[in-house]
Amino acid sequence: MNKEKFQIPMPDERTIQTHIDQIVAAGVNQKESFTAYLTSMVRQIGFKHLFAERLGLVYMFLTALLINSSMFLLAEPEKLAIQDLYGLVFLLSPLLFLMFSIFTYVHKMNNETFEIEMSCKYNVYQIIAFKMLAFSAVSIVVNTIMIAFLATVYDDIHFLRAFMISITGLFVFSILFLYGMMKRRSTFAVATVVIMWMGGNLLFRFMNDALYTNLLVTMPLFVYGVVFIGSLYCYVRYLKRLIRFTQMKGAF
């Protein structure tokens, strides 16, 4: 009995390439954009669980508001130079962000469930990164309201200039804060950044008054705009690096 040979028809090149593309697409994880990643985090975890320590954040908010208000309201408008007013705006602009971030950071680092949270899909550092972005947005809103109030109390304050000084100070400090936190990942490193920010501002004010005045009072607003855009870009890049942190690699 003659046996017929079993023949398998070979697919053409186009069919082969189509199947290869399908296999690669199924096997390779698609890289999410920064915005898509954060949106997915909020959708899967929820705001309620992301900001579980809401009571503590409210206390931090009230404390920062009290400090900000006291610094300006206790100053006498007729005795305080305009550069000193702008200097206070620059110095205190990151205060709310700072208090929120330190509270969150210390709370997470000292939490008994730290090791468990680090093994989750969204680990401690990724959640901190999301919160810092939210804290920045809240700080901008609160600072803007505060500056609008100051503009009604102090006739010499120019709202737009004070606003640009405020957001520039906020994001410059945020970069320093993230850098210190990512390099050492310790409370000491964070405290060092805070001390350097306050000490540097005060030292600069008293050592070179003319330059300090020029930077705050006469520097064109578009220069502040350029600094703000550059600092915002760096800030988002640091947040992305913080989100990519993995415990297995042990580095950013």
The more confidently predicted of residues 134 and 82 is 134
Query: Which letter, b or e, does each residue of 65-84 get, where b requires 16 or more Cβ atoms within 10 Å of its Cβ?
Result: eeebeeebeeeeeeeeebbb
Kindly state the average pLDDT of the residues 106-112. Answer: 71
Q: Nearest-CA neighbor of 212 among 51, 82, 18, 55? A: 82
Exposed / middle / buried, residue 86 (Cβ in 10 Å: 0-12, 13-18, 19+): buried
Q: Nearest-CA neighbor of 140 among 108, 103, 95? A: 95
**Domain definitions of the chain by residue range:** 33-243
pLDDT of residue 149: 85
Q: Structure tokens of 186?
A: 């310790």
Q: Does 251 score more than 60 pLDDT? A: no
Q: Structure tokens of 225?
A: 């705009």
pLDDT digits (tens, 9 = 90+) for 176-232: 888 887 776 666 777 788 888 888 887 877 776 677 777 788 888 888 889 889 998
DSSP state of 41: H
| Residue 56: Cβ within 10 Å count | 14
What is the residue-averaged pLDDT of the chain? 77
Q: Does 86 score more than 80 pLDDT? A: yes
pLDDT of residue 167: 92
Task: State what percent of residues in the chain have pLDDT above 70.
Answer: 73
Alpha-carbon distance of 192 to 96, in angstroms, equals 18
Q: Does 250 score more than 50 pLDDT? A: no
